Amino acid sequence: MVCCARPVASVTTPAINRQMHALEWGMLLLLAIIWGGSFFFNAVAVRELPVLTIVLGRVGIAAVILLLVIRLKGIEIPRAPGLLWAFAIMGLFNNVLPFGLIVWAQGYVASGQAAILNATTPIFAAIMAHLMTNDEKISLRQIAGILVGIAGVAVMMGGAVREEAGGVLAAQCALLGASLSYGFVAAYGRRFRGLGVSPLVTATGQVSMASLFLLPLVLLIDRPWTLAAPSSDAILAVIAIAVICTAFAYGLYFRILASAGATNLSLVTMLVPASAILLGIMFLGEHLLAHHIAGLGLIVAGLTVMDGRLLDFVLRGVRP
């Protein structure tokens, strides 16, 4: 997602299987716009700032905001060594690695392309859940959806292969690596289910640990004090990613999750690319080629098959 880092739905209550109301649809669309906006803000920031500095700005500011929120709510962050280790794993694979890969890739590909390939996250999540859990094995329907989604990825990346665009191809592979990282952490995050840790604490713990990972790397590699002063646009882009696309998005995500459930919330994956594409075309002068649109269509079709609700609806309509 997104993205923009997606919180792990499995750390919360089980999915609520029901129709969404207008307010919930509105919140879902708002979340899609926000997470689509993260690709737009990345594209603005990466023009002037190093990758690690951008990512540290995002998670660091978000961590400060979330720490203030839980302090105001009177919530204590657990300090058990095992739980801190789990937060560290989440911060690495749900923030540091995917954020870094996505921001780096956006130095080579348009924000719309990045969002399209990031939409493969549920495909990798299904594969990782099959490999890492005993009760979330891939069904035949999911296999069919995964194959269609992989075909969409092949169509998208085929253009770079034909054009021998090495930087673009490497960026596309990095975006798939980010999706794989998100998929891994979605399965790994299930261990929070029985620990009694609230989603807000989980989100705060992971961005805090991500900030601790990144701070020494930024000081050693980027050496921010040696960089040219960035423009106000770049600074505001980093602040927007942190405040709107991370801290605020977490709150909105969990609000939808609590009222509509994880299954309905998963629809946001199909909406984020549209938001990112429109913002890129409107404000960054980007454009998509025919094979990008075709790849997006196949990826969305694959996700639709994996989700299954549309297929079930059609089948109910044709049954006597």
Confidence at 233, pLDDT banded by 50, 70, 90: very high
pLDDT per residue as tens digits for the range 13-38: 444 445 678 888 999 999 999 999 99
Structure tokens at 86: 């789990």
Which region, left, alpha or beta, applies to residue 5 given φ > 0 means left and ψ of -120 to 50 means alpha? Answer: beta
Structure tokens at 4: 């923009």
pLDDT per residue as tens digits for the range 181-199: 999 988 887 777 666 788 8
Residue 9 lies in a domain: no
**8-state DSSP, 242:** H
Question: Could you give the percent of the chain with pLDDT greater than 70?
Answer: 87
pLDDT per residue as tens digits for the range 114-155: 999 999 999 999 999 999 988 888 999 999 999 999 999 999
- Domain count for the chain: 1
Residue 11 lies in a domain: no
pLDDT of residue 312: 73
Residue 268 lies in a domain: yes
CB 121 within 8 A of CB 92: no
Model pTM?
A: 0.90
Residue 3 lies in a domain: no
Residue 283 lies in a domain: yes
Cα–Cα dist 236/244, whole Å: 11
Quote the domain boundaries for residue 254: 19-318
Residue 10 lies in a domain: no
Residue 212 lies in a domain: yes
Cα–Cα dist 96/92, whole Å: 5
Residue 174 lies in a domain: yes
Number of Cβ atoms within 10 Å of the Cβ of 204: 25
